[in-house]
Amino acid sequence: MPRKKRPLDRDGGVLRDASLIVIASEDTYAVEDYFRRFRTRKVQFKVIPTEDGRSSPDDVASRLDDFKREVQTQPGDQFWLCIDRDHWANSGHIKNLAQVLQHCRQAEYQVAISNPCFELWLLLHFEDAKPANGCNCGEIASRLSAVAGGYDKTAVDRLPIQAAMVHDAIARAKALDIDPSPIPESVLTRVYLILEVLLAREAIDLE
């Protein structure tokens, strides 16, 4: 079966030769809502969210595999797995998570893992958070709601995030990223790595 043509956001003025960043997420709304704010002509985002509750690391990686197999790609395209460590690293799931991360390395997928969850990345836009190891996603979300004037997981695009705050979040996330393990024990988020790619390509303007 021939591959589908590359998606092209004509309404957003995306260039025909724009590179594609595909992000498969275990979340249904938050990741897609966040990256929607970065409209750019040089890079097009394709966020593949979770549907029907299929949010395991296996399911998320499979969606990347399916997209890469079915859609035309070109040099410069990147494929990202955006997952939370959360409960996937407990004794019942750790082996599966390790296998998925090994598959990502073999498939040349990038991984933006958060411990405990993606909400930590959002919180870092608002404060220099240094939560203790063992904190849970509920605690992170509560703190985010307090400093952002409310938080709705289904409406992340409503958070009052300004360009300078993205720079702050990147710096804070880099400072937290001191655990080199693919499955980190310390509290951190590597979503900043996606933003660094965009800045390096001069694909977004955060001035």
Average pLDDT for runs of 10 along the chain of length 207:
56 60 88 84 78 80 91 87 85 84 95 94 92 81 94 93 94 94 92 92 73
Closest CA to 71 of 25, 11, 2: 2
pTM (whole model) above 0.85: yes
Return the pLDDT at 34.
Answer: 92
Return the pLDDT at 10.
Answer: 47
Give the whole-angstrom CA distance, residue 84 versus residue 107.
Answer: 20
Token code pair at residue 101: 């991360």
Return the pLDDT at 14.
Answer: 52
Return the pLDDT at 134.
Answer: 66
